[in-house]
A = this chain, B = another copy of it.
């Protein structure tokens, strides 16, 4: 397990979440506190805390006095989440249009500029990082704690897929163009346009995945 300075609970939580999302465990597989603790070299206590958190995330189902079971993430789940995100990223952009600062706008445009730079060199890691940064900036600019909270959750959720989809030159180019349109609308303070552009941006991600074939993406 990673050797950073997070608590054991937090590390177990991250590890399990990542493994579940990566499909390491079969759906409905039982997660026994003892065995997981042994695998990760920790006691049951941090494992229990992690499992309780995963239950709230909906990745694990806990039956009292019985056990914790993996709730698999299906293709439909991911699709639904993108549909939900489409609406919420739209709302986020709308609110961002009303609140974004010049500084934030400049940062936003910088991520676009850098994306084009790294796209030419096919630096997929940096591109993914910049894409994350773009969206996180929008979340902050929305000035809504609640919206930021739910969107960050979903963002984590689909992180694994994003790695695949953003390693495609064609999609990166299209995605960057969509980011540009969002930024333009924000600069014009056109809330409705920003909303539509941001919403469509997520919808076109879905189309792209349809094109690539979800089955491969989900492995």
Contacts and interface: CB of A to CB of B under 8 A. Distances in A.
Interface of A: 6-7, 9-10, 45, 48-49, 52-53, 55-58, 64, 76-77, 80-81, 83-84, 87-88, 91, 144-147, 149-150
A38 to B, nearest CB: 20
A77 B148 CA distance: 11
Q: Say how many copies of this protein the assembly contains.
A: 2
Chain A contact residues, majority secondary structure: helix
Q: Give the one of A77, A88, A145, A146 with max B CB within 10 A.
A: A146
Nearest to A82: B146
Contacts of A83: 91
Contacts of A149: 58
Contact of A84 (B7, B53, B80, B146): B146
Sorted from nearest, which 6 A-B pairs have the closest CB atoms? A80-B146, A87-B87, A80-B144, A56-B56, A49-B52, A58-B149
